[in-house]
Structure 1
Amino acid sequence: MKTFYRRTAWKAGLGRFAALLFLSCSLWATACDEDSLLNPAPDTSLPDTALFDTPARVLGQVNGMYAALKSGSFYGGRYLMLSDIRGEEFINRLQNVFTGYDAWNHTINSGSNDALTTWSTAYAAINSANLLLDGMAAHPGVVEDAVAANYAGEAKFVRALSYFSLISFYGQPYAKDGGASPGVPLRLKGQTTSANNDLARSTVAEVYAQILKDLDEAETALPLTYSTPLLNTTRAHRNTAIALKTRVYLSMGQYANVVRETQKIVSASPPFKAGSGVAHQLQASISTVFSADYTTTESIFSMPMTELDNVSGQSSLGYEYTINQEYNLNPAGILGNPTWRAEDQRKTMLRTAGSTVYLTKYRKANPYLDFVPVLRYSEVLLNYAEALAKTSSPDLALATRVLTAVRQRADPNYAFPAAATATPTALVNTILVERRIELLGEGFRSNDLLRNLLPIPAKGTAPAISPAQPEYIFPIPNAEISSNKLL
């Protein structure tokens, strides 16, 4: 078997069986300057036996792992889009199954393309992480111990993020039964053949336990910072693992753990910012984060795009929302909420054509070079505020201050009415509205509904979906069912 730079051979639907192994300098390389990062070396190929025999080749596997994460069907764009359009914020305009119509309309089934590609690309990223961990263990001493620990931490972060993405789509919410429902198969060893196809589903709780184990180990192994803002945004470091843990614990309803993790990277008082590692904080203008500079300290982790390495076409967020306008904003969704005022700077990331409003948060035309946000500091703050309001001893005052920091960054003169923050229930509802505004188009709405066991509201011609209906989560794809006899 040979592996190829930016090319992989995959049997349809069986993405977990092959590695995305890349052998030249890319945006995640530590050993290259930023000029060479934007001008990668030509394609090369090597046999498996040589993939871990030099430091440069080990680094190539790290780069390939991140490239697998950035697949157009995964965090390069489509996963975020599907996560959003299942909620109520967008109206489908073209009824095109290739751009998510069946997910929007809740008619996705085991044979649907998006059920398959989301599953297979997530397992492809997991397999890349597993093969990196296996390869380094089988070739000790090729890289220095500290570098090996760093790479292992990055692999565990990628694996954790990928499993969280899978369990959010294909597993029942943790809150339903404490994670007792069937989850997804936990594949923790690299696969290059179909010899180990058959693997039963672990429970939702078991998958979450593995995610947290990986993130705890990643937090310990990862560096505090890298040498440039670009690397701090596009490679996992200590604070990246912590930020993802706040999302994971929030989805599990473990609010005291959200508070504990968040306080590692959020100061006790305004202006809220990280006191160690990368100095994360909100930027003065959200427009900076989405147009002028994709590598500010607000962007904890993003998928980078260059002219030589970008996601285009029907998986690109810029294409879907801005250029081809497959989806417009639902007037009955967050767009119609009266607390989202005209003077709010986040309204500048919308475009009105007649009476129809489109999201332009991803505004670059082809080639689509907007970085895709995966973790932003504003999300961490909103996770913190919600957890503070939901703990057994809620701190409504601090939660309100954190929430206000996010709102007033975009709308400095806005003051939340007293009734909106006076009780835990009122404050949580206010925070959920703020999440819908701040994180619009970044892949959060579906999971925010599911983790709270809320129905998915009707929109346009799409019906409402209750937590009891099978359409509440994605079905396991037919390709997996036919190849895995233990499902």
Structure 2
Amino acid sequence: MKTYIKSYRKSIAAVALLSGLLFTSCENNEDLAITPETTVSDQDIFKTPARIEGLVNGIYKAFKGASLYGGRFLLYQDQRGEDFINITANNFTGYESWNNSYSSGSNDINNLWSAAYSAINRANILIEGLAVNQGVITEQKANEYIGEAKLIRALSYYSLVVSFGQPYNKDAGASQGVPLRLKAETGTANNDLARSTVAEIYTQILKDLDDAEAALPQSYTSADLNTTRAHVSTAIALKTRVYLSQNNWAKVIEEAAKLAPQTQAPFSTTASEVKHALQPDITVLFSSNYATVESIFSIPMSSLDSYTGQSAIAYIYNTNLEYYLNPTGILGDAQWGATDKRRDLTRTVSGKQYFKKYAKPSPFLDYIPVVRYSEVLLNYAEAAAKTGDLTLAANLLRAVHLRSDPSYVFSATVTSDPVQLIDAIWKERRIELLGEGFRGLDLLRNLQDLPAKGDSKLQTPAVVPSAANYIFPAPNTELATNKLY
């Protein structure tokens, strides 16, 4: 991982403080009046509260990397499924993911790996630094910052293990995953590190999320901060996702019930300070208000800190029109009706339907969703159905679907049969979470084939779970610098 370690070797402070100040709290980054410190020594970086806060912001900034949750990680995972058709065969905009043809030298592979481990290393630096520099900030504030660092570390590791490791459900996590780096690295001495098992990675992810839940604040001082900084609900919501990836239905239910304690609609959060609920109009979440209580955690963009061109997911989907929606995919399924409000998140160009959930023009200021309340409800629905509580599962499914299509009726045949109900929940995930990075993850956790897809110009065959390209290959940058991989 020499590519990211070197960025810290000369000055941790220079990188973290500068990028941290650029990320900052999203509501303020249009009119920053702070002159960033860019020449602080490693020894001085933890000596003031402002510098420590800069390090925290730097963790979020790394997590916001274009190849991670700045948007392209979502692109990579969605293109593994069948709901988009590629037009351009452009390797710089995710074609190799769509085509299941990544190699160790692929830019996407190396950039995703580097971005995730950069966020992890920044989190490790903060965690270790606060442990030996006590008293500069209050103990409560230090614990909250560590909670934020652990949550970002957990989600970064989750992104790595679901991409580069075999699905947990293949062998209960016995396969080799990725190197588990929990120490701050400021040089190249520790590049050589063997991979941990997939199970070990999941154990660490869940430990970090449990620690984060215990340490994070219930809320912040504004809706924007409640959307763009981790708080208690963020950790809980992400645990439902991680446990779902393990088919640990009981734990999904346990965590989801913290945020959705009711057994019928309207489902909403009552115990925590942020009262999560579905918004009446889903299009609001992707156009006029990125900071609703449905948006549990999102990556902000501003005119001072956004991505352009091929780094921007909005450019790929909606400006350059490099993928259209597959008419035989979820777009053509009867469960996604013509009057469904989510159809407004698509548009027609030359007879094809294109995806416009990220619809802002350049400079592409759409916030990127990491976890929404609707996902929590669908995670909950699947776990309830898997454990035999079909009434609760159907109520959760209806809550999500009827928000956008109130006239739709799920037949009694569907809601009374666990197989059909789970199939309907999986379809609902494809409709509701389209373009948010879930389709590939859902296929892999269920050990399903990556489906064949294409049109008269470009096609790609199906990939079975036993194939080498069912998961992403290790990047050249890691293979060249880690002899124990």
**TM-score, length-scaled by structure 2:** 0.95
304, 319, 322: which is aligned to 2:318?
A: 322
Kindly indicate whether residue 212 of structure 2 is the aligned counterpart of residue 218 of structure 1.
yes
290, 296, 315: which is aligned to 2:286?
A: 290
13, 17, 22: which is aligned to 1:22?
A: 17
Distance across 2 between alignment mates of 1:14 and 1:90: 36
Q: Deviations over 1:101-159 (max 9, x none)?
A: 11110110111111111111000000010011111112111110110010000000000
Kindly indicate whether residue 227 of structure 2 is the aligned counterpart of residue 233 of structure 1.
yes
Equivalent residue number for residue 472 of structure 1:
470
Equivalent residue number for residue 301 of structure 2:
305
Q: Deviations over 1:3-23 (max 9, x none)?
A: xxxxxxx95476896655124
Distance across 2 between alignment mates of 1:338 and 1:307: 40
Q: Deviations over 1:308-341 (max 9, x none)?
A: 0012211211101000111111111111112211
- Residue 267 of structure 1 and its aligned partner are, at CA, apart by 2.4
SS in 1 for 2:353: strand
Distance across 2 between alignment mates of 1:445 and 1:241: 22
Contact 1:77 1:311 in 2 (8 A): no
Equivalent residue number for residue 384 of structure 2:
388
Question: For residues 239-254 of structure 1, what are the structure 2 equivalents within 5 Å?
Answer: 239-254=233-248
Contact 1:280 1:377 in 2 (8 A): yes
Distance across 2 between alignment mates of 1:366 and 1:464: 35
Amino acid at match of 2:468: P
- Residue 417 of structure 1 and its aligned partner are, at CA, apart by 1.5
Kindly indicate whether residue 174 of structure 2 is the aligned counterpart of residue 180 of structure 1.
yes
Distance across 1 between alignment mates of 2:199 and 2:301: 35
SS in 1 for 2:286: helix
Kindly indicate whether residue 47 of structure 2 is the aligned counterpart of residue 47 of structure 1.
no
Kindly indicate whether residue 143 of structure 2 is the aligned counterpart of residue 149 of structure 1.
yes
458, 462, 478: which is aligned to 2:460?
A: 462
Distance across 1 between alignment mates of 2:391 and 2:2: 54
Distance across 1 between alignment mates of 2:214 and 2:477: 37
- Residue 86 of structure 1 and its aligned partner are, at CA, apart by 1.1
Contact 2:2 2:188 in 1 (8 A): no
SS in 2 for 1:183: strand
SS in 2 for 1:456: coil
Equivalent residue number for residue 269 of structure 2:
274
- Residue 451 of structure 1 and its aligned partner are, at CA, apart by 0.2
Equivalent residue number for residue 162 of structure 1:
156
SS in 1 for 2:240: helix
Instruction: Give me the identity figure in percent.
Output: 53
Kindly indicate whether residue 474 of structure 2 is the aligned counterpart of residue 481 of structure 1.
no
50, 60, 78: which is aligned to 1:56?
A: 50
- Residue 283 of structure 1 and its aligned partner are, at CA, apart by 0.2
Q: Deviations over 1:82-116 (max 9, x none)?
A: 01011111111111111111111011011111111
Contact 2:148 2:212 in 1 (8 A): yes
Equivalent residue number for residue 128 of structure 1:
122
Unaligned stretches of 5+ in structure 1? Answer: 1-9
Task: Tell me the C-alpha RMSD between the 2 structures.
Answer: 1.6
Give the 3 Å change call, closer, same or farther, for CA 343–40 of structure 1 in structure 2: farther
Distance across 2 between alignment mates of 1:185 and 1:16: 19
Unaligned stretches of 5+ in structure 2? Answer: none
Contact 1:378 1:406 in 2 (8 A): yes
Give the 3 Å change call, closer, same or farther, for CA 242–291 of structure 1 in structure 2: same
